[in-house]
Amino acid sequence: MFKWTERPASALANGAVIAPDERLPWLQTGAMGVQHVIAMFGATVLAPILMGFNPNIAILMSGIGTLIFYFVTGGKVPSYLGSSFAFIGVVIAASGYAGKGPNANIAVALGGIVACGVVYILIGALVQAIGTGWIERVMPPVVTGAVVAVIGLNLASVPIKNMAASNFDSWMQAVTFLCVGLVAVFTRGMLQRLLILVGLVLATIVYAMLTNILGMGKPVDLSGIANAAWFGLPTFTAPVFTANAMLLIAPVAIILVAENLGHLKAVTAMTGRNLDPYMGRAFIGDGIATVVSGAAGGTGVTTYAENIGVMAATRIYSTAVFVVAALIALVLGFSPKFGALIQAIPLPVMGGVSIVVFGLIAIAGAKIWVDNKVDFSQNRNLIVAAITLIIGTGDFTLKFGDFALGGIGTATFGAILLYALLGRSKN
């Protein structure tokens, strides 16, 4: 579990793929760990803010959850666990959160999150006991590919609509994804593998020159970094268990199963290694991490699509990278100064990076179709994929009393049900 075959950094120049049980020299592995922390940080911090949770707790629990996942899966599944957006709607409904400041009723929501984690663990135990065949039957490649693609497409409006307040900001988003693209295409070796991080730094420098020097937009403000403490203990909160909150939040486990399954399928497609034998353990690891996070005051966690995008771009799947990223997150969870540093990154730059990462997620879903030779001349596959992509991208939402199933959820369940309902036809 703790041993990786070392590959020389020069292997990157030849386009080598770094497998889960391999690693680059520790210096390069550390750099990749930083990139994965950067990739997940925006979403991992954004989700708790939208629910009124403590962002420092969220980043701390993401590190702890990732280590739990690593140990439960025996170090075989490359993955980072971060705050899940699937909890936002139900947590707000269960806690009555008004949308601004700390969530005064956070404890009740935490009880529901813990309950969800327990359900998730039970599903994982069932998969571990009887195998993955039943999941394969209800979620074949046409379904999992569509679900993975939808995760990226559903998030597309976030950077485009919410992270560019002016025309200048929109142009800076374009500069940012152009920087990432130039690094991806015209550099080689480790620099190319760090395309997200390097592109972000370059775009931030350009932004600072245009704003702080030329006065073309909102300048970069570093005062928050100077005023923040290096280390500080976050405030933990214990869960309170109520039947209503648990019944409302626990069903999110089904969505987490779909997200995790899509992650495993995407990584299997990218690495060429069958990760199905670890599916049950992956569910259990994610469930335990969610229980631990909820018990401490954090959000529910899930395998992170943003990090799938980074792996797809870099072709580095070493689990050592995620151990390093988790350890970095542990340290950062106790550092208000790092939180201030991330907050200082211009929003349009983060938006431009998000466009790239979310796009890579969508393409990872399409890759599942290609690698599994999904036949779209069959109307069954065509209809399932077509409807799934549109309802997921359009954020089609269905409400069942206080429970709201958002775009990713409706797309996931819709794809599964459509595939089953259309199963009698072969055309």
Average pLDDT score over the chain:
83
Q: Which among 416, 359, 375, 406 is positioned nearest to 134, based on CA atoms?
A: 416
pLDDT tier for residue 425 given thresholds of 50, 70 and 90:
low
pLDDT value of residue 228: 81
Q: Which range of residues forms the domain containing residue 133?
A: 21-156+231-421
Structural domain contains residue 427: no
pLDDT tier for residue 99 given thresholds of 50, 70 and 90:
low
Under 8 Å between Cβ of 76 and 256: no
| The token pair that represents 117 in the structure block | 């984690």
pLDDT digits (tens, 9 = 90+) for 211-247: 888 888 788 888 888 888 888 888 898 999 988 788 7
Q: Which of 16-20, 283-287, 399-403 is the most confident on average?
A: 283-287
Instruction: Compute CA 310 distance to the chain's CA centroid, rounded to the nearest angstrom.
Output: 10
Percent of the chain with pLDDT over 90: 22
Structural domain contains residue 405: yes
Collapsing DSSP to helix, strand or coil, 378 comes out as coil
Between 118 and 212, residue with greater pLDDT: 118
Structural domain contains residue 323: yes
Q: Can you say whether the dihedral through the CA atoms of 113, 119, 123, 126 is positive or negative?
A: positive
pLDDT value of residue 382: 93
Percent of the chain with pLDDT over 70: 91
Cα–Cα dist 263/265, whole Å = 5
pLDDT digits (tens, 9 = 90+) for 316-357: 888 889 999 999 999 888 888 876 776 778 888 878 887 887
Structural domain contains residue 7: no
CA atoms within 13 A on the CB side of 173: 22
Between 402 and 223, residue with greater pLDDT: 223
Cα–Cα dist 298/252, whole Å = 16
Between 164 and 99, residue with greater pLDDT: 164
Q: What is the mean pLDDT of residues 411-422?
A: 87
pLDDT of 157 over the 80 cut:
no
Number of domains comprising the chain: 1
pLDDT tier for residue 1 given thresholds of 50, 70 and 90:
low
In sequence order, what DSSP letters do the residues of 7-36 get, joined into one string?
--GGGGGGT--B-TTEE--HHHHHHHHHHH
List the beta bridge partners of residue 6. Answer: 23
Cα–Cα dist 32/28, whole Å = 6
Q: What is the mean pLDDT of residues 302-314?
A: 78
pTM of the model: 0.70
Structural domain contains residue 203: no
Structural domain contains residue 16: no
Structural domain contains residue 161: no
Structural domain contains residue 162: no
Residue type, 392: G
Q: What is the mean pLDDT of residues 70-80?
A: 89
pLDDT tier for residue 115 given thresholds of 50, 70 and 90:
very high
Alpha-carbon Rg for the chain, nearest whole angstrom, is 21
Alpha-helix runs per DSSP H in 272-400: 279-296, 305-314, 319-333, 336-344, 347-371, 379-393
Mutual orientation of helices 305-314 and 141-154 as an angle, nearest 10°? 100
pLDDT value of residue 400: 75
pLDDT value of residue 285: 95
pLDDT of 291 over the 90 cut:
yes
Q: Look at the chain and count its residues.
A: 427
pLDDT of 255 over the 80 cut:
no
